[in-house]
Amino acid sequence: MNYFANDLTSLHDLLVKKEISATDLTKETLATIKEREQKVDAFLSVDEEGALKQAAEVDEAGVDATNVLSGIPLGIKDNIVTKGLKTTAASKILENFDPIYDATVIEKLKAAKAITIGKTNMDEFAMGGSTENSAFKLTKNAWDQTKVPGGSSGGSAAAVASGEVVASLGSDTGGSIRQPASFNGIVGVKPTYGRVSRYGLIAFASSLDQIGPFTRSVRDNATLLNAISGADPRDFTSSKREVPDFTQGIDGGVKGMRIAVPKEYLGEGVAADIKKAVKNAITVFEKLGATVDEVSLPHSKYGVPVYYIIASSEASSNLQRFDGIRYGHRAQNVKNLEDVYVKSRSEGFGDEVKRRIMLGTFSLSAGTYDAFFKKAAQVRTLICQDFARVFAEYDLILGPTTPTTAFGIGEDIKDPVTMYMNDILTIPVNLAGLPGMSLPAGYSKGLPIGLQLIANQFDEKTMYRAGYAFEQETEFHKQAPTIGGQN
């Protein structure tokens, strides 16, 4: 199945007209994954038997002509729990965890008759920006297999970019959807905090985590977000606000739209080719009738330290439950209860997870709480206020998704600070609970460059409208990578 030539709408039309069946589509998808996995390693597990069973049920009941996702195989990040399908969060401590329930987003996809084809690789517990922190395998960039796919949702991004699946789900805590979308030349959206239920998402940082879609096109992305959004009584942080149809009015254009470009997003540390691509994008938006002005987000420079204190503090709390007692990895040859805790966690967690647990525990300690966690929470408020001031006058914020294109495998993994700074442009969006999108905006030395669009809370429709207008005016989304395509 050539997912470079087909989108959700065209596949849906083929299914409705019975030119292909859901079983045919699933078999072809499984064959494509088998062929391309040798190069990309995007999946931790492929549920061949389960996927074919789901497809047969769709065929028997008939493809739902009113539902674009009916019969479509999708990849799911391995920190989203799936009943009867192993969910590991790419960690040894959950190596054999078989969930007894589905995450809310999986329930919604099943209700839409979408097919879960398998679970994608990621940084352990979503902690990382390159998918090099997985306990099980190393995923490669679809465009250059010597480069990282980004993280933590690198497997979900690489699976879509390499044409293994037409769409997938990831999660974004500090840029973990937008950064790998940028590195792989596809569309990735982190919705407004609360837009999508987090029930069944293995928690990293509860005030920041959000599930979102990866696709090859903006319209496909809006379609998938439609399916997974909405209030959930099992997640008290999910919003009761009515969910609009994100595809409605997507072709409305940007004429009269006011777009802000923060000067801090094009400052020191952002590569020259990235700046050039963003400036070219600004020209496109102006040509389409938008007004683009430079603004300032003065506190965004503190985003990285604020994020790593808050996220690590929440992680140290959330990961207490993984103790080797109830489920997950349990150490052998232990002498007492304390031995079970210490050895199970020492053996089960990787270095990056341990690093963040230690940082978070330190930040929450009695002697350091005021100096670190409390101060970080105060600066987070200032970052939110910066965004609020800009959105009082502008419809969108525009800038690069990442300061560079994809870096080499092994290049930054030994230097945590350098790795953390790769998220400097995406982190503020999570701290403020805003929606953000990355979409292809150019190429440098054969590697994709991502453009980031940021909207006000619950204004994904404006973000999709602008993204769609840019996509229709450019050819970047039509490029295919080395895996499965012709680059």
Known catalytic residues are: 77, 152, 176
- 302: tokens are 């503190």
Do 377 and 207 contact (CB within 8 A), yes or no?
no
Q: Between β-strands 258-262 and 73-77, what pairing exists: parallel, antiparallel or unpaired?
A: unpaired
* CA 280 vs CA 61, 252, 440: distances in Å: 49, 21, 12
* Orientation angle between helical segments 22-40 and 48-61, nearest 10 degrees: 160
Scanning 103-210, the segments in alpha helix (DSSP H) are 104-111, 154-161, 178-184
Which residues on adjacent β-strands are paired with residue 295?
262
The amino acid at residue 423 is D
Scanning 242-336, the segments in alpha helix (DSSP H) are 272-287, 303-318
* CA 82 vs CA 109, 110, 322: distances in Å: 11, 11, 18
- The C-alpha atoms of residue 138 and residue 409 are separated, in whole angstroms, by 9
Query: Among candidates 244, 165, 270, which has minimal Cα distance to 463?
Result: 244
- The C-alpha atoms of residue 190 and residue 205 are separated, in whole angstroms, by 15
- The C-alpha atoms of residue 403 and residue 426 are separated, in whole angstroms, by 10
